[in-house]
Amino acid sequence: MNEWEFTGEAAGWFNERIHKNPSSLFSGVRVEQRGEGSSKRRDLTFLDKNKIPILTGEVKLPYAKDGSTPYNDTVVTDARAKALKAGASFFFTWNVNEFVLWETTPGKTTSYGEKYRSWLVTAVYKESRLDIEPTRMEIQTWIDRFLVEFTDIIRGTAPIGFKPPDERFIDLLESALFTPIMMTFEVLLSRYPNHTFKKDLDEWMREEGWTILDDQEGINDNLERASKYACYALVNKLVFHEALLKRYSSRLTRLVVPDHIDTGEQLRLHLETYFAQAKTITGDYETVFGEDHKAIENRIPFYSDSATVHWRELINQIHKFDFSKIDYEVIGRIFERLISPEERHKYGKYYTRAEVVDLINSFCIRDGTETVMDPACGGGTFLVRAYARKKELAPARKHVQLLADLFGIDISHFATHLTTINLATRDLIDEENYPQIARSDFFDVAAQKTFISLPKRVEAKTLGKRRDVIIPPLDAVISNPPYVRQEDIPKTKKESKSGPRPGTKEYYQQVVKNEVGITLSGRADLHCYFWPHSASFLKQNGFLCLLTSSQWLDVEYGFRLQEWILQNFRILAIFESLDEPWFVGARVATAITCLQAEVDETERINNFVRFIQLRRPIGEILAHDGTSAGVVTSVDRFRDEIMSLTENGVNERYRARLVKQHDLWKQGVELGALMSNLDSSDGEDEDEEQKNQAGFSNNKYYGGKWGIHVRAPDLWFNLIDSYGKLFTPLGNMSTVHRGITSGKDSFFFPVDCSIDCLKKYDNPPEFIRNYGVPRERVESGHIRLVKCGDHRGEIHPIEAQYTEPELHNIMGVERFTIAPTDCSRLVVLLAKHKSDLKGTAALKYVLWGESKNIHKEPTCAGRTTSESTWYDLTRTKRADIILPKIQQYRLLSILNPSQVHIGSSLLGLYNVPAEQVIPLCAVLNSTISILSRILFARILGNEGNIQLDVYSAKMMLVPDIRVASRSQLQRISQAFASMKDRKSLTFVSEKRLRTMAFTGAGKVKELDSLSDATELDMPDRRDLDDAVLEMVGVKSPKQRDKIIDELYTYLRHFFEATRQKEEKAIINKNTARRRERIRPADIASQIYEDISKNDPELLRRYEVDFLDNSQPFDSYDLPTEGDAIKYSDLLVPQGVKFTKGTKSQVNLIPTLTASQAELIVLLTKTGRRGLVRVPHDDLECARTLASFQSFIEGRDARLLELVQERTSDEETQEKTLVALASLLNR
């Protein structure tokens, strides 16, 4: 289909819709005829009801020379001229893929911008895709939308839109890049099957941290991404080269691509001569133009010969753009659009909006002379805006002086490339235009050490020489550190004599401990290490201002960071936004923290921390006139307003809570006292946390829930400010700790299956034959049959007297009171020693456990003392009240009158005075306490779950029943009595919870049968809340009603927002699963499938391919657990010893020969357990061993190669190999 044919068909589609709509403003669309020899026809003209042209324009095909972008300057100029001649108010340029509507004005683009609006229509990059049905449908669907929206613009009910020059330039580049990117992608796709090419490309992609995939969808994703990455990098070079002409016009040649260059390779060599010249003339900018033009990432954009004409046209368009009008963030914005939100999440790359950066800079840069560093500079936003601010505050300072004040570091080559460009383009006229930007891991850079070399200042004697740049003591460190979760930080597997491997968690821990003496939790996210390392660069009163995940304000891994901050800084302000996220795509809440180093303890403890919750978009709060002076004035005014606050306050823009640092410290010490009796940690790193808890009762800071000051609703503070004296941490009224940590739930928490067993075997002899106990003893209840062991796959008898009900979770609990019948499991309670259990089923149960080495589990072994056995759980206390740890929409506290035992997934309240148990449980079920629980718990992911850890529960503020009068307690107890035996409801109705699933399944009508009631609709709950509010001092019934209404309204909104967030997370999880970081198991499956097809020799089996079954053999039963080592002593000349840990021996298997022992060790390393055969004859066994060992070594080496070809991450490699071993041994 040619251009004329497409234009005619498009006109037909427009007219078909116009004629079907009597109320349309248009009478039709006309295809203009071209006169002979004329190039001045209008392709399409839209006529109003009076047949007067209202819109004319040009249609181009996207793969044509002048059609790659609708922003082509020549095409736009021609279309405007024709519209003026026709008297049309609007004109358009349309390259099929994108339609741009312009307002017809006599002049060209003004210095302030231009009025236009664009629509993305389809995605065609070659002729064969233009005439296919999906493309035709996309175009026709867009036409329907366009006619409606253009009508609104004509009527004045919708604006056409306005964009400044820099945004138009971005639109041009992105539009013009589409076709070269897709052409490049097609070539990569065609070349990828070539082994040599694939190897080189895969190696580069692995270096970039990408995972190499073998399925077609994964291959397409990676190759398209590689095409985008390389083509955008080339555009950056082209744009920067054009910008350099402002400074080096007399020596630097304008980049021109002659018409005779028609292949990609010719174009690559041609452009490289310009880039090489730029590096030589400037003496720098290797980070921009590349150090090796032959590297594959620099060759990728030139693989497609067909793209050459489009690169030439794009370069011509760049020449026509006036760079004096470009905003300095233009290239950074291009990079922002390059990477998808999924990639930002994976690599911690979240680019920060300008207003947030300006606010941070206002705290750190006061007079324009400050030295500033960004240790994770990304595209350079922080440093570029710092430059602009410094220039505004100190206008007499030269470009070279401003650059000398700024230091940037980033681990990414592309990031340092962008930052260098962004800073260098501030003033390309200056001779000394060398930004101090280094590509490095920040933790490999040390204060007052050389971190980069740059060309010496331009003098005849120093030309070509370089100077070392040393980072001096800094006035400020500003940054948005990468958000990388702790589990994604590489770990040191084997520590060498020189210490942990750089780039690993252990290395970061060592760096910050050596520099500032802080020991961070092993669960700390990457940004936590940036704080102390950044501080090592600061002057004595320097500023440290970071934009990070706000989780450290509340969670246990952030508590050491809190303590260190309180001991070394004045906390000026902490900002969070209620209104908007501060970088698009980030899945975590973010906070701005502004600190100033302070050695004077008195100054620190008397400092007021300003916790600021922003309630309007930050762009609105910091609105300005668009000038640099306006930015500085606006942001400084807001900063000064915040810092001048002397008391709590709320307005439409923000809420401020002022808290003395002394009070933050005091609260952290008080929590330490509460935590001093903690039995065990909530987390995985129990040893680490237990060490941290030691000595907290001795005036030591533990931690605090600082996030509440910026996150809690106003009604919470209204209550606390007015009645806070009658609230207390829950830890003051009870002991709080987890339920039983058994060490092996499958042994200690079996499931009673007696009834099922009795039904299965009516015949007594058959019953005893299967279960080993008389049927009548089970029927009478003296003995229980229980499911136990791995996956509850075994059934064993045990006397009923040694078991009790155990509540493992609240799934089966429907009421606010627990009964034994609600428990789905038992707990084994044996206080007697084995010698006292002779002749019992309980003894056999214990011996069975020991045969499974359960007694060697660390927790179990730790119980063994002179007075206690490893299996004795009878010393564990029974909770008076039970709290779920993980909750979502069902938040309740459970009364435990039967004193049933609970598992570790629940929290127990212990040592509550008998007369206070019911009142305390009542208060904990009040809606005020529910709100407190939400505020003090930590949020888990995006799916609405919260986790109430032990420390959170102890800190949780609840009404203090100890100071209540007898009548108040009686009223609360009576209110609770009416609700404790009814079914507890969720805080989101069953109907609402099922809406998404039922709608998706086409069962909308069935929703009507579901209840719409929530816990907040229950009259008895309102009665309880009224009684609790009266207890805390709200005397007026009318005021209590008002508070309850506000509380319920807030919680309804909160839970609805939570449900919406959860639904969005479910959708994202389903639709974006391919984009998520691939799991090691997926890589292993791909490799297994690959070798099954292409290298089946790697799948050979020991018994089938190596063991000669015609020869005599011996059989050995290998234990399921333990590491195998060859062993011999006086009693066992040769054998295999199985050990667990450093000392525990699991089993010892004597063998007939040493060769058998070696072969058995090798078999266990390949995953073999249970019965195995090995040759009886020593020579035959040695032959089999040598053959199998050679195979395994070769196979493992090949598997490692295959894994390394797909990922460079060592931890992922290790997990993939484990998953592969599992597949190979199944």
**Amino acid symbol at 588:** V
- The C-alpha angle 561, 567, 573, rounded to 5 degrees, equals 70
Say if CB 1054 and CB 934 are below 8 A apart. yes
Asked if residue 935 belongs to a domain, the reply is: yes
Residues 14 and 108 in one domain: yes
Choosing from 847, 869, 891, the residue where a domain stops is 869
Residues paired with residue 803 on neighbouring β-strands, in sequence order:
828
The pLDDT of residue 680: 41
**Amino acid symbol at 946:** I
Residues 1171 and 1220 in one domain: yes
Residues 1062 and 1084 in one domain: no
Residues 18 and 159 in one domain: yes
Query: Any long-range contacts for 682-689 (C-beta under 8 Å, 24+ apart)?
Result: 682/556, 682/738, 682/885, 682/949, 682/950, 682/951, 683/523, 683/556, 683/949, 684/523, 685/521, 685/522, 685/523, 688/521, 688/522, 689/521, 689/556
Q: Residue 1019 burial by CB count (10 A; 0-12/13-18/19+): exposed, middle or buried?
A: exposed
Which among 1115, 1083, 1088 has a CA at the least distance from the CA of 1099?
Answer: 1088
Which among 215, 216, 214, 190 has a CA at the least distance from the CA of 202?
Answer: 214
Which among 653, 705, 628 has a CA at the least distance from the CA of 674?
Answer: 705
Q: Which two tokens stand for residue 964?
A: 């209540």
Say if CB 388 and CB 328 are below 8 A apart. yes
Say if CB 668 and CB 704 are below 8 A apart. yes
Say if CB 229 and CB 297 are below 8 A apart. yes
Residue 158 sits in a domain whose CATH number is 3.90.1570.30
- Phi-psi map region of 624: left, alpha, beta (phi>0 left; psi -120 to 50 alpha): beta
Helix axes 3-20, 133-155, angle to 10 degrees: 60
Asked if residue 959 belongs to a domain, the reply is: yes
Residues 995 and 1091 in one domain: no
Residues paired with residue 117 on neighbouring β-strands, in sequence order:
101
**Gyration radius from the chain CA atoms:** 36
Helix axes 354-364, 381-393, angle to 10 degrees: 50
Say if CB 530 and CB 546 are below 8 A apart. yes
Number of domains in the chain: 5
Residues 882 and 963 in one domain: yes
- Chain centroid to Cα 1105, Å, comes to 47
Choosing from 275, 308, 325, the residue where a domain stops is 325
Residues 1071 and 1085 in one domain: no
Asked if residue 705 belongs to a domain, the reply is: no
Residues 140 and 267 in one domain: no
The pLDDT of residue 337: 47
The pLDDT of residue 1226: 67
What residues contact 870, with CB distance under 8 A and at least 6 apart?
854, 855, 860, 861, 863, 864
Q: Residue 8 burial by CB count (10 A; 0-12/13-18/19+): exposed, middle or buried?
A: middle
Asked if residue 396 belongs to a domain, the reply is: no
The pLDDT of residue 33: 61
- Tell whether the torsion through CA atoms of 509, 513, 516 and 520 is positive or negative: positive
Could you please report the per-residue DSSP string of 651-680?
-SSEEEEEEEHHHHHHHHHHHHHHHTT--S
The pLDDT of residue 1078: 67
Q: Which residues of the chain have pLDDT under 50?
A: 35-40, 109-111, 328, 331-332, 334-349, 458-463, 584-587, 678-697, 1072-1076
Residues paired with residue 499 on neighbouring β-strands, in sequence order:
496
Which among 1197, 1199, 1201 has a CA at the least distance from the CA of 1223?
Answer: 1199
The pLDDT of residue 291: 64
Q: How many CB atoms lie within 10 A of CB 997?
A: 12
Question: Containing H/E element for 9?
Answer: helix 3-20
Helix axes 628-643, 354-364, angle to 10 degrees: 60
The pLDDT of residue 461: 42
Asked if residue 495 belongs to a domain, the reply is: no
Residues 1039 and 1142 in one domain: no
3-state secondary structure (DSSP) of residue 566: helix
The pLDDT of residue 689: 43
3-state secondary structure (DSSP) of residue 947: strand
The residue range of the domain holding 962 is 712-739+876-1075
The pLDDT of residue 16: 94
- Tell whether the torsion through CA atoms of 721, 722, 728 and 729 is positive or negative: negative
Residues 900 and 1046 in one domain: yes
Residues 141 and 287 in one domain: no
Q: Residue written as tokens 């005014």? A: 637
Residues paired with residue 987 on neighbouring β-strands, in sequence order:
none
Choosing from 1030, 1059, 1075, the residue where a domain stops is 1075
Give phi and psi for 428, each to the nearest 5.
-80, 0
Asked if residue 584 belongs to a domain, the reply is: no
Between CA 712 and CA 1198 the distance in angstroms is 56
The pLDDT of residue 1011: 92
Q: Which two tokens stand for residue 83?
A: 């519209």
Residues 651-679, buried b or exposed e (16+ Cβ, 10 A)? eebbbbbbbebeebbebbbbbbbbbeebe
- Phi-psi map region of 964: left, alpha, beta (phi>0 left; psi -120 to 50 alpha): beta
Give phi and psi for 385, each to the nearest 5.
-75, -30
Strand runs labelled E in 553-698: 569-577, 590-597, 608-614, 649-650, 654-660
In percent, the amount of the chain with pLDDT more than 70 equals: 89
Asked if residue 612 belongs to a domain, the reply is: no
Between CA 306 and CA 63 the distance in angstroms is 9
Asked if residue 755 belongs to a domain, the reply is: yes
Residues 239 and 319 in one domain: yes
Which among 376, 759, 714 has a CA at the least distance from the CA of 546?
Answer: 376
